[in-house]
Structure 1
Amino acid sequence: MVSLQTVVIAGIHYLIHPQKLGTITAIINPDSILPVTLLATHEIFSPDLDGLLAGLDAVDDVFIPEFGSILVEKATENDRHADPSKLGITRDIFQLNSSDSLLQGFNDLPSGPYILHGPNLYQAWRLYEDEYDAFVFGVIPEDVNEPEQFRVLNALSTNGLHKSIPVPSRLYHRHPSPRKPLSGVRVSISDTAALEGVGTTLSSASWELLHPEPADESAHFVRRLIDLGAVIVGKTKAPPMESGQEWVDVPAPWNPRADGYQRADDSSPGAVTAIAGYPWLQHALGEHVVGALANVAMPGGVYSLRLPLPIVPKLGETQRPEGVEIISRQLQSLDRVVQAALGQKGPSSGGPQTNRLLYLTELSPELPIEQSRSFEKLISILESALEVKVEHTSLAALWAAQPPDSLGDTSLGDFMKLAPFRSLSYREAQKYRQFHKEYREKFHREAFVERNPRFRWDYGEKVTEDQNMLDLSHIGVFRKWFHEIILTGSPTTLVVFPHGVSRPHYRRDKLADPKVIKGLTYELLPAILDSPHLILPFDQIPFESIISGRAEQLPVSASIVGGGSWADLVQTVDGALKSAGWPRELSVGRLALPSADRSIEEATLGEAQAEL
């Protein structure tokens, strides 16, 4: 295996990708390392070479002006070479050896920034610091032309405090095409998803100790993204052993929102943190898991489209039962990525039509006044855009008015009191039973597991197979009833409810003891519906931070479930926000929304703080 080498250019760290792409015809010092720009003959001798280089700098975060000091010409047999000095070109120009056998299979190397190590040409990958600790590690493909097997990048930042995440030049990838609609799109994947050549940790030292071996193939859905042209830059942290939240074995990601000290307890904490914090990353693949903090809003403030497993290929042996999620800062971009990944198109003409809008009131009870006002604004926007009147109701009321056949007077609360959580715990216990057995046999001790997953596994072990079959039957009855009674007859019926309560939850706060989750919560409901589920940050509310000592903003998010396809769901919501002039793109850093003005126009900080 070729060792990896890094270099500093104008204060910026780069990785010299180890795959040799070609050689120049000139003889130079074999130990020299030079940043260069590869250009075609007609580009070098164009009337405005400086303007061309400035354009590369404007569109690419890997290219910097220092790459333009030395040029490498990729000439064909038909190109006629002009005298650079006669054209006023003072830069050094080397010629790429067009007969080099290494160029076979690379055909026309893209113009852009490269590094000469001696006479040999290599790609330049910029190294970004993982300052929010979102990643397990960065990765690079062994073959940049045919990315199949990957390797871990172990480089650290200059101060040694952060991991380095490598990204290639955007100029290396051609414009999106029907065959490669995600060409050059940078994507991180969850640590739980298999990636050929690298391992999986599950944020657990015990799991990593028992399973240190790299994956021998990539998960189907990950392979699909790669085949469509996506660039996998690294694996992001998943909750420890699926549902842990104490982060004993590895450091927790640092939530970039608000004061920077709010917990990162999203379903896919590393993926959400990376999208919320890093402008150089476009999308993240996460997985939908059911957390342990009842009614606490996930604080990352990013768009997430959660897709149930029946409509996506499995992620690998460590797949979650609930589904995967695509995470982004742009609604429209989110739509395009999912469309490409699933090979499905949105509505062909006219856009989706919605004739029913339901707001479920009981899934996140006792909302603070300011958050309630935020939801009133969102509902008003949806009503206006969709030309429907919202129905404020509850699942219990809908069930009582039209219960499933043969259930008579059985209330929804009684029917679904324990089935969702008990079924979830049973699946988790079954999934990790072999892990416990193998760890005990190999190391002659028990594996360390955090409190919450241990609680669920112990709980699930007590569930009999007959009880689990009965629970699955109850879930099936509820799912059928929900689709027939609530979603039927209107392919884009929208069901809206709060995605938890937005309130401060600091990293230093003590976690509550694990407990059984009873009934249907804002997380459990979408997990059992087998329907697309959109998490929509749409507003911000103020709070007085005990960390920064000033007013900060927490994202307010809604959960939206639609009766049609994921395309109907995303495009309907996107169209409604567009018509109202509300943001459809989120920012990185402290504020999820570009401006906090909208979220505090009707309330003072004191009012909001009193309710929090």
Structure 2
Amino acid sequence: MATAIVDKGKLISLNGVDYLAGGVAVSQLSSSRTLNWNWTLADIVPLTIVRTNATTFTSNELEKSITGFQLSDDVFALGFMEVIYIEHNGDDSDIDHTVDLTSESPGNKLVLTSSNYKDQNPLLVYAKMSQSLPNGPYFLSARTGEIFKAFRVYTDSHFTFTEGAVSDENGGFISLPALTEGAMTKSVAVPSRLYYTPTADKPLAGLRCGVKDIFDLKGLRTSGGNRAFYDLYPQRNTTAPSIQRLIDAGAVIVGKMGTVQFANGDNPTADWVDFHCPFNPRGDGYQAPGGSSSGPGAGIAAYDWLDITIGSDTGGSMRSPGGKQGVFANRPSTGAIGLDHVLPLCKDLDTAGVFSRDAETWSSTIHAWYPNFTNYEKYPERIFYQNASFPDSETEAGSMLEEFVQKVEKFLGSEREYVDIAERWGETHPENAPSNVTDLLNTTYAILTSVGQYRSLALPFYADYAAQNGGRHPFINPGPLKRWQWGQDNGGDASYDVALRNKTIFREWWETNGYGKSNKEACSEGVYIYPYSTGETQYRNVYSDSPTAPPMGFKDGRISNMADVPDFVVPVGEVSYNSTVSLKTEYLPVTMSFVAARGCDLMLANLIRDLQAVEIIKPVNTGSKMYP
């Protein structure tokens, strides 16, 4: 049998910064004469490609290009100027072009130029690339002339990734082989931002994206937060269509990110047995990140080198991390995008959402990602406000939220309408439903998720694992194990149909007699707003009660699950607390949720984008504090 050797790239330190030279060549360079490489002992040398349409390329032009690279890219560094390749990209190929570099660039050993340029300096060498490449930093093999993409390698110090990944340049991914210094941390490699330019077809070009580890990526395994599951099943041969749609729009996948096991709900740290819970960067750094999209939520709040992250939301798995980290997070209308090749919690409730630190990027991603929504630029004139949902306006968080609501009222040109969902239900509920909405929905979510996942994921997993492991049972974290058992103890499959019927009853009521009516001009008759987080602590070094049953009852956060409507979390501010960890005053996020009628996702995205444009909402920073 022939030996199979796969080049997965090389880890390179350049002036103390770690880089990966991708293992797949993206072009090859051939020169007009034999090059003298006596100034380096390495086969791989740094290369900068500069594309220009100037007829004369001077030192000033080069300096201007390099300054632009430094300002817009975290991968490029002056060390990449060891070899410079200047390529003319104008249309007038018959004209003679001149390179006139009168001053030496720092660290430069060799300048190569495309054949469209006239050689004005014996130190310049004609060269051609087999495949034209964008501006930016690369690595060049002195031996073969092959050119490789340059990736900067970062340490995942907040434990948000399960696996770094790079493209195999053939529609799939390679697990990142490189590891840099760090205590039990993963490494993540990101390509140069200079490689990408947004277009109408690729509006998300170059956005670096981490993906919750329940979505399949071709060439990688899927863990779902379970070690036995990861080891049992091979690398996937298909990327989830939902993620492929992002890739087709230009997003760059850089790895898979941590999840509560099988997208359930767990508390750090004891509930997280198989994988360690990601670290929320806000406050003292030892607050719970929320879940189940814990890694994507914590990662987007921790790392400037990430632009968006993708998670799922069944019962709050996007919105909870959004609230805990104080970032933009959405649960879309149910069915916004297909979830084939995604580990299920409940097929009748599961959705996929996006995290971001600013509304412009977030809105652009939502527009590019969800295929079947109508765009609305007119906004609802009604604001539905349930007083019982809000903290006392005399508190720090309450005062902040009240000021925010007043600004939204002014922006929309309308005053809030005080509503009471329980009272409204009692007055208008269907005849075949109980008079108390909590009686209708108390166990609905619990049944749908515990029974739904047991039959769609647990049973086939148990059977597959037993078949390959002598009849043994795989380890399951206490949370999902208790939930699955609770579902079987409370009616199993028979109870699922009842729960689904109760959900349908509520959805139909919400759309007719509740606060989710549609509107022809603004998509939604109004927006229902409620606070999602108010800066309360949840320390990860506190032992919680052991898991028992899935979440029960009815609250604001259940509206979107039961009515299939969008629920978008946005940052409002941050409030102080005295940390028992740092023994200092720290700050935690305050966030607000916007709920609209089913299918009104683009209207909400536009509204929140425009609220940021007038500074009612502000982009947030990474790290301990949302705002400087």
- Shorter-chain-normalised TM-score: which range? 0.7 to 0.9
Distance change in 2, residues 1:572/1:458 (3 Å):
same
Q: 1:27 aligns with which of 27, 35, 40?
A: 35
Does the alignment pair 1:530 with 2:564? yes
Does the alignment pair 1:63 with 2:67? no
Deviation at 1:387, TM superposition (A): 2.1
Give deviations 1:367-405, integer Å, cap 9, x for gaps: 993333232222222222212222333321110122224
CA distance in 2, matches of 1:489, 1:111: 48
Q: 2:273 aligns with which of 218, 229, 248?
A: 248
Structure 1, 256-265 or 414-423: larger mean CA deviation:
414-423
Give deviations 1:223-271, integer Å, cap 9, x for gaps: 1111111111111111112215222112211110000111122331100
Does the alignment pair 1:316 with 2:355? no
Residue number in structure 2 paired with 1:4? 9
How many residues align? The count is 581
Residue number in structure 2 paired with 1:487? 516
The correspondence of residues 455-470 of structure 1 with structure 2, limited to 5 A, is: 455-462=482-489, 463-470=491-498
Assess if the C-alpha contact under 8 Å between 2:75 and 2:193 holds in 1.
Answer: yes
Deviation at 1:326, TM superposition (A): 0.7
Give deviations 1:157-186, integer Å, cap 9, x for gaps: 23464222111111112x211111111111
Distance change in 2, residues 1:393/1:512 (3 Å):
farther
Assess if the C-alpha contact under 8 Å between 1:538 and 1:557 holds in 2.
Answer: yes
Distance change in 2, residues 1:566/1:52 (3 Å):
same
Residue number in structure 2 paired with 1:37? 48
Give deviations 1:19-71, integer Å, cap 9, x for gaps: 22212424345843321211247568234321221111111111112222431
Task: Look up the SS of the partner of 1:512 in the other structure.
Answer: coil
Assess if the C-alpha contact under 8 Å between 1:243 and 1:291 holds in 2.
Answer: no
CA distance in 1, matches of 2:321, 2:158: 21
Give deviations 1:338-384, integer Å, cap 9, x for gaps: 11122467746xx3232221123556889993333232222222222
Q: 1:138 aligns with which of 129, 140, 164?
A: 164
Does the alignment pair 1:74 with 2:87? yes
Structure 1, 339-348 or 59-68: larger mean CA deviation:
339-348
CA distance in 2, matches of 1:141, 1:95: 28
Assess if the C-alpha contact under 8 Å between 2:282 and 2:624 holds in 1.
Answer: yes
Q: 2:603 aligns with which of 562, 568, 575?
A: 568
Assess if the C-alpha contact under 8 Å between 1:400 and 1:412 holds in 2.
Answer: yes
Give deviations 1:548-586, integer Å, cap 9, x for gaps: 11111110122221125112112223434544x334211
Assess if the C-alpha contact under 8 Å between 1:39 and 1:71 holds in 2.
Answer: yes
The correspondence of residues 278-427 of structure 1 with structure 2, limited to 5 A, is: 278-290=303-315, 298-321=323-346, 322-343=350-371, 347=375, 351-361=377-387, 369-407=395-433, 410-427=435-452
Assess if the C-alpha contact under 8 Å between 2:30 and 2:128 holds in 1.
Answer: no
Distance change in 2, residues 1:60/1:488 (3 Å):
same
CA distance in 2, matches of 1:335, 1:296: 18
Residue number in structure 2 paired with 1:197? 219
Deviation at 1:489, TM superposition (A): 5.0
Counterpart AA for 1:113: P
Q: 1:434 aligns with which of 444, 460, 467?
A: 460
Distance change in 2, residues 1:89/1:518 (3 Å):
closer
CA distance in 2, matches of 1:289, 1:478: 17
Residue number in structure 2 paired with 1:95? 112
Task: Look up the SS of the partner of 1:499 in the other structure.
Answer: strand
Counterpart AA for 2:516: L
CA distance in 2, matches of 1:406, 1:426: 24
Distance change in 2, residues 1:95/1:391 (3 Å):
same
Does the alignment pair 1:217 with 2:238? yes
Residue number in structure 1 paired with 2:575? 541
Deviation at 1:285, TM superposition (A): 0.9
Deviation at 1:538, TM superposition (A): 0.8
CA distance in 2, matches of 1:464, 1:251: 31
Counterpart AA for 2:14: I
The correspondence of residues 589-608 of structure 1 with structure 2, limited to 5 A, is: 589-592=623-626, 594-595=627-628
Distance change in 2, residues 1:172/1:577 (3 Å):
closer
Q: Which runs of 5+ in 1 are unaligned?
A: 596-612
Deviation at 1:543, TM superposition (A): 0.8
Assess if the C-alpha contact under 8 Å between 1:13 and 1:127 holds in 2.
Answer: yes
Deviation at 1:286, TM superposition (A): 0.7
CA distance in 2, matches of 1:459, 1:588: 39
Structure 1, 189-198 or 27-36: larger mean CA deviation:
27-36
Residue number in structure 2 paired with 1:606? none
CA distance in 2, matches of 1:500, 1:49: 49
Residue number in structure 2 paired with 1:600? none
Residue number in structure 2 paired with 1:268? 293
Residue number in structure 2 paired with 1:17? 22
Task: Look up the SS of the partner of 2:587 in the other structure.
Answer: strand
Distance change in 2, residues 1:516/1:41 (3 Å):
closer
CA distance in 2, matches of 1:39, 1:295: 44
CA distance in 2, matches of 1:335, 1:499: 20
Structure 1, 338-347 or 196-205: larger mean CA deviation:
338-347
RMSD: 2.9
CA distance in 2, matches of 1:154, 1:254: 23
CA distance in 1, matches of 2:324, 2:537: 9
Q: 1:520 aligns with which of 544, 548, 554?
A: 554
CA distance in 1, matches of 2:518, 2:562: 21
Q: TM-score, normalised by structure 2?
A: 0.86
Task: Look up the SS of the partner of 1:487 in the other structure.
Answer: coil
CA distance in 2, matches of 1:565, 1:261: 36
Residue number in structure 1 paired with 2:64? 51
